[in-house]
């Protein structure tokens, strides 16, 4: 994973972390939303 640029790359990053495998699909989608907000904030 080079860079998180969209929801798909955020989800790929989450799926690569074995500790997060126990999370439900809903929880992973919530994480994607938070990650994208953080990325947007960091780029501003």
Longest C-alpha distance within the chain, in Å? 32
- The gap between the terminal CA atoms of the chain, to the nearest Å, is 22
Q: Which domain holds residue 36?
A: 7-43
Distance between CA 31 and CA 25 in Å, rounded?
10
pTM exceeding 0.95: no
Name residues whose C-beta falls within 8 Å of residue 27's C-beta, 6 or more positions apart in sequence: none
pLDDT tens digits for 1-44?
Answer: 579 999 999 999 999 999 999 999 999 999 999 999 999 999 99
Question: Within a domain: residue 33?
Answer: yes
Check if the beta carbon of residue 14 is closer than 8 Å to that of residue 1. Answer: no
Question: Within a domain: residue 31?
Answer: yes
Per-residue confidence (pLDDT) for residue 2, from 0 to 100: 73
Question: Within a domain: residue 1?
Answer: no
Task: Please tell me the total count of domains within the chain.
Answer: 1
């Amino acid at each position: 994973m080079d860079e998180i640029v969209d929801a798909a790359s955020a989800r790929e990053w989450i799926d690569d972390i074995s500790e997060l495998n126990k999370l439900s699909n809903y929880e992973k989608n919530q994480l994607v939303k938070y990650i994208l907000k953080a990325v947007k904030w960091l780029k501003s």
